[in-house]
Amino acid sequence: MPPIPTPFSAQVTAEELTDLRARLRATRWPDAPEDAGWSLGSDVDYLRQLVEYWAEEFDWTAQEAALARIPRFRIELGGLGIHFAHVQGVRAAGSTSKAMPLILSHGWPDSFWRYSKVIPLLTDPGSHGADPDDAFDVVVPDMPGFGYSDKPVGAPLNSIDVAGLWAELMDALGYDRFGAAGGDIGSHVSRYLALDFPHRVSAVHRTDAGIPVALPGLELTPAEQRFVDEAAAWNLSEGAYAAMHRTKPQTAAVGLTDSPVGLAAWIVEKLRSWSDCHGDLESSYSKDEILTLVSMYWFTGTIGSSMRMYSANAAIPSAQLARRVEVPSGFALFPGDILHPTREWLDRTANTVHVSEPARGGHFAPFEEPELYAQELRDFFRPFRRTALVE
């Protein structure tokens, strides 16, 4: 008998809120060189302002209530409780078409939060100026060790493992065929869904092609070599966090689990660096939006378990990395994202049938630019709807 989802709601206690505010008010701040700004990491002056707002004005209860309006569930898969949002598409009156099932996979440092703005645009396009026939049945899980999903007790799961869980989840929900989309780690998970379950995934959409790995013996074009070199340069200047996650995640987890300000510094710096905000973080996110994400990590205690997935993914054999996705694949390369793969690389690694370059947006495009992202998914998946619908 397949596992049965049960409704889920979260509620932080008054004691947890009091403890958080006490820790924020007792922060021991580091010094910083004059005019360092963001050049050496998180800007301490900005963090002071954000933390003051967090301690004195931020209303977590209101944000928690807003998230609770999204239908959310838990289900046991592989011995783990998996939290997910599941919203069915709204059909036009008299329409005989069905909504296309679509599973969206997030990355780090986020959770189902990444897609919270875009869910209504995808499930009810008719109410947002789009064609009702483009409606999706949307499923947005928290990966194990992220958000409200359970933390793996033993070895962390890698992207291949999670793809297997997502296939089980879609089966439990009655979706035999479906579309898959994601970014960051979610791009990897979507890739392995397409690789390992090609008979179930009608098409796959990604906002990146991952960090390129030049495998031994691989002959690259000059454009591909430039892409690999750019990725290597980015890793030298920006990849210290990932090296920590891959090698010593527990060391960082001790401080980040104990200090809410340390946690905010670790996450907020990435929000700014990877978004299309041109250095002005709050042009892409309000303080409430930033602190909703950080508070979710704080109250669930998942910063350590989320980082450990990097260690698991680093151990994936190179033979898996070399596999080519044959399922029809689309890519949206947002201008503010970390890396921009060449078309040659996309064609080498996937059956690429669609590449777009939206005008705005970065690594967290579904949250930064939900309308652009929703339209991107509507356009890409439209030709594949018939093969994904469940009778």
330-379, pLDDT tens digit by residue? Answer: 999 999 999 999 999 999 999 999 999 999 999 999 999 999 999 999 99
What pLDDT does residue 98 have? 86
CA distance 311 to 19: 31
From residue 300, give the alpha-carbon distance in Å to each of 10, 27, 82, 305: 10, 20, 13, 10
pLDDT in tens, 148-182: 999 999 999 999 999 999 999 999 999 999 999 99
pLDDT in tens, 2-28: 789 999 999 999 999 999 999 999 999
Does the pLDDT at position 235 exceed 60? Answer: yes
pTM for this one?
Answer: 0.96
The residue from 184, 208, 276, 337 that is catalytic is 184
What pLDDT does residue 391 have? 40
Section 296-311 average pLDDT: 98
What mean pLDDT value characterizes the chain? 95
pLDDT band at 216, cuts 50/70/90? confident
What pLDDT does residue 375 have? 98
Q: Are 358 and 335 in contact, with CB atoms under 8 Å apart?
A: yes
> Lowest mean pLDDT: which of 19-33, 49-63, 214-228, 230-244?
214-228
Q: Is 137 a catalytic residue?
A: no
CA distance 267 to 283: 17
pLDDT in tens, 126-145: 999 999 999 999 999 999 99
Does the pLDDT at position 215 exceed 80? Answer: no
Q: What is the DSSP string of 225-256?
A: HHHHHHHHHHHHHHTHHHHHHHH-HHHHHHHH
The residue from 188, 205, 245, 363 that is catalytic is 363
What pLDDT does residue 388 have? 58
pLDDT band at 91, cuts 50/70/90? confident
What pLDDT does residue 230 have? 94
Q: Tell me what percent of the residues of the chain surpass a pLDDT of 70.
A: 98
Does the pLDDT at position 327 exceed 80? Answer: yes
> Lowest mean pLDDT: which of 117-121, 233-237, 349-353, 384-388?
384-388
Q: Is 363 a catalytic residue?
A: yes
In sign, the C-alpha dihedral spanning 99, 176, 159, 322 is negative
Half-sphere exposure of 2 (CA within 13 A, CB side): 13
* H helix intervals, 2-43: 14-25
Does the pLDDT at position 269 exceed 80? Answer: yes
Q: Are 301 and 142 in contact, with CB atoms under 8 Å apart?
A: no
What pLDDT does residue 390 have? 44
Q: Which domains does the chain have, with CATH numbers?
A: 6-29+36-385 (3.40.50.1820)
List, in order, residues 6 or more apart from 204 with CB less than 8 Å away.
Answer: 179, 180, 181, 190, 191, 193, 194, 325, 327, 328, 329, 330, 350
CA distance 110 to 300: 12
The residue from 115, 310, 337, 373 that is catalytic is 310
Q: Is 184 a catalytic residue?
A: yes
